[in-house]
Amino acid sequence: MVNGINHITISVKDIDSAFTFYKNVLELTPIMKSKRSAYFTAGQVWIALDERPNYEKSDNYAHICFNVPKEKYLHFIEKIKQNNITEWQSNQTEGNSLYLYDDSGNKLEIHFSTLSERIEYGKQHFGTDVEWFI
């Protein structure tokens, strides 16, 4: 049912330093930058940076988000929950997401929105301290 990677989130200690690295060294395409996060694209892949100033393994927000079709999302989530998965956080962003651990303790997310939907939502709800590049 998974039809691709929705986004990859990377935890960083300092958003300004990380933004410079991902933009100037790796030459990713910037989408937005705020006080604690930034979005880029690497080809067709959406990369999200999330600042964790007190970064420790326990505060690591890094995860891979898999995309499922919107019309199959609820069925897929029910199937996952039937396998007694452990969730690592409740959803706090727009849209529906399930945050789960795999059996090795890796953080995963299941979601169905697109980067363009997140951009539209962000421009309406993220506030004025966000710099948009598109």
User: Considering 71, 87, 109, 120, which one is annotated as catalytic?
Assistant: 109
Q: In angstroms, rounded to a whole number, what is the distance separating the alpha carbons of residues 76 and 118?
A: 22
Q: Is 109 a catalytic residue?
A: yes
Q: Which residues contact 66 (CB under 8 A, 6 or more apart)?
A: 2, 4, 5, 6, 108, 109, 110, 111
As given in the structure block, the two tokens for residue 32 are 């937005």
β 63-67/97-101 pair status: unpaired
Question: Catalytic amino acids?
Answer: 109
